[in-house]
Homo-oligomer: A and B are copies of this chain.
Amino acid sequence: MIDTTNPFILRLRRCGRLDAQDEAWLLEKTRERKEMPAHRDLKSEGEKPVCVHIILEGLGCRYKILPDGRRQITAFLVPGDPCDFPVFLLDQMDHSLCLLTKSVVATIDREEVDDALTNRPLLTRAFWRSTLMDEAILREWLVNIGRRNAYERVCHLLWELFVRHALVGLTSERTFTLPLTQVDLADSLGLSAVHMNRTLQRLKSEGLIGQTGRSLTILRPEALQASASFDNRYLHTRSGTG
């Protein structure tokens, strides 16, 4: 087991047992990095995927836009998250993918992934698990938007983002960098930006969270989790059985 801070490896380790060669493969494939500007689409709806992106630094999202412009963000992508497996095996993108901040990204060509998919069974299983974990988050988001009110939703999302950053070593104490705009947050929670703003203010005034610049601090984690009736099971933080 390599000693690493590589978020891609940290992520995949949670998706199942990997051998040294697998980890070497992951390290190798994320060696070449590209810095990319914010608000750049990595892939657009309808496109045929030819490579896989991995976010190493920064923040991205999946989203869909309705004909009249309404946007729904369906996932946030934190460092370590592979972006395109959900459609790599399908014929075409059913959603778009974009960066929300200036980011560092690695790309793996389709052939290289295919190669791993036929020759590296442990890794293949981990990739599959990785997409299943994304699916679990998606289910929880559906519950969040469908059955929780605005206040509960925001509590839930903030705690989830905190945990996911913690899992790849991107928190210190109870603080992490959250460079999302309130519009982004609103579009992920099915809220208006105005109401998002008011709800955040309430959380601050109640002392649940603090914000200085782009960094967010969870001041009262228990209160945040309780308000959200947060059940961390869906994050599958402990890896499967091999």
Which residues of A does B touch, CB under 8 Å? 16, 45-46, 62, 64, 66-68, 70-72, 74-75, 85-87, 89-92, 94-95, 118, 121, 125, 128-129, 131-136, 138-143, 145-148, 189-190, 229, 233-234, 236, 238-241
Per the bound structure, the CA–CA distance linking A138 and B146 in Å amounts to 12
Are B46 and A146 within 8 A (Cβ)? no
Q: Considering the complex of A and B, which 5 residue pairs feature the smallest CB-CB distances, nearest first? A: A146-B190, A72-B143, A94-B234, A70-B147, A72-B146
Are A89 and B132 within 8 A (Cβ)? yes
Per the bound structure, the CA–CA distance linking A135 and B112 in Å amounts to 24
List residues of chain B with CB within 8 A of the CB of A133: 90
Q: How many whole Å from A119's CB to the nearest CB in chain B?
A: 12
Given A72-B142, A134-B135, 20 extra CB contacts under 8 A? A66-B147, A70-B148, A72-B146, A74-B139, A86-B132, A89-B125, A89-B128, A89-B129, A91-B236, A91-B240, A94-B140, A95-B139, A131-B135, A135-B138, A138-B138, A141-B142, A145-B146, A145-B190, A146-B189, A147-B190
Residue A132 contacts which of B92, B131, B190, B234 (CB distance < 8 angstroms)? B131
Q: How many whole Å from A182's CB to the nearest CB in chain B?
A: 16
Are A145 and B148 within 8 A (Cβ)? no
Q: So how many copies of this chain end up in the complex?
A: 2
List residues of chain B with CB within 8 A of the CB of A143: 64, 66, 72, 74
List residues of chain B with CB within 8 A of the CB of A95: 139, 234
Are A139 and B94 within 8 A (Cβ)? yes
Q: A86-B132, A125-B89, A146-B145 are in contact. Are A94 and B189 (CB under 8 A)?
A: no
List residues of chain B with CB within 8 A of the CB of A148: 66, 70
Q: How many whole Å from A184's CB to the nearest CB in chain B?
A: 13
List residues of chain B with CB within 8 A of the CB of A125: 89
List residues of chain B with CB within 8 A of the CB of A90: 129, 132-133, 136, 236, 240
